[in-house]
Amino acid sequence: MDELLTVRRWRRYGADRLFVTHETGARVGSVDLQSGEVVVEHPALEDGVRRAAQAYLRSDVRTETGELVLPVPATPTDALDALDQAALEAWLGSVSKDTTELPAYRGERGSSVRTRLSRLVDEGWQVLHDVPVGRQGSVLQNLLVGPGGILTVTERDLTGSHVVVEGRTMTVDGVSVPYLRDARLEASRVQSALLAAACAGVVVRPVLVVQGQLDVRAPGGPDDVLVVPRSELPSVFRLMAPRLGADRATAIAAVASRKSTWSR
């Protein structure tokens, strides 16, 4: 009978980590999903921890207390195969173990939504930044067009705060905030502009990326604001059901890249 590993996700106080334990309760290691740091109890365990993290990230375990149980690799010192290594690096990024710039590299990797979105470009997604929406000087941080549809992606840095989402409302440290309403209005403005530019039948969904302690108690509907922690980018977009073909996504992105689309 195979020995088992349990992978648990821990999200508190702005941190987001995966902890891997043996079925005996012994700690095997952890992965920081924001910095990409892998910590192991023994160097020989690192590949096993990476395999466990890869299995967790590509599974459907989505809740804060969710667990994934999987067998211990028969040869834990073997390297990941090329596909698994590439997929894990797409999430965490890759870096040489002996680089002298490791802290700075991790800080840059963990701080940019743009960097995370750019990982989708080779997977059929088009990414536009700083889109000037309307004539009032409003700027959309990110517009994402690809297999999962058309998405406005806006980040709110709420580090150190407790953010609660219940349906169509959001509170930060117990105080109601209009961030969901603002995200809906932004997506509606983008949708109207694309429709006016002859992109028939388009639907734009808002995505709000939160840096902080996020507690989604009751998510909105399938086309309402999707609220996610930054650590779930870009994986959350890869898991979306297909909505746009490659040719249509490219055509819509081309329209979105024209200044005339937003100056009507």
Average pLDDT, 10 consecutive residues per value, the chain (264 residues): 76 74 80 73 74 77 67 53 50 43 40 80 91 80 96 92 93 96 95 94 95 87 89 87 93 93 84
Pairing of strands 204-218, 149-166: parallel
pLDDT at 204: 97
CATH number at residue 155: 3.40.1350
Domain that holds residue 82: 4-110
Indicate whether 100 and 152 sit together in one domain: no
Indicate whether 122 and 215 sit together in one domain: yes
CA–CA separation, 193 and 103 (whole Å): 42
Longest dimension (CA), the chain: 66
pLDDT at 103: 42
Indicate whether 105 and 162 sit together in one domain: no
169: left (phi over 0), alpha (psi -120 to 50) or beta: beta
Indicate whether 154 and 241 sit together in one domain: yes
pLDDT at 238: 87
pLDDT at 250: 94
pLDDT at 170: 96
CA–CA separation, 173 and 158 (whole Å): 10
Indicate whether 201 and 106 sit together in one domain: no
Indicate whether 86 and 149 sit together in one domain: no
pLDDT at 60: 63
Indicate whether 224 and 154 sit together in one domain: yes
Domain boundary among 56, 90, 110: 110
Indicate whether 132 and 257 sit together in one domain: yes
Domain boundary among 59, 75, 110: 110
pLDDT at 152: 97
Indicate whether 15 and 60 sit together in one domain: yes
Total domains, the chain: 2
Distances (CA, A) of 154 to 124, 183, 205: 21, 8, 11
Distances (CA, A) of 172 to 63, 71, 180, 205, 218: 20, 40, 12, 22, 15
* Adjacent-strand bridge partners of 153: 142, 207
Indicate whether 59 and 137 sit together in one domain: no
Indicate whether 61 and 157 sit together in one domain: no
pLDDT at 164: 94
Indicate whether 24 and 105 sit together in one domain: yes
Domain boundary among 110, 145, 164: 110
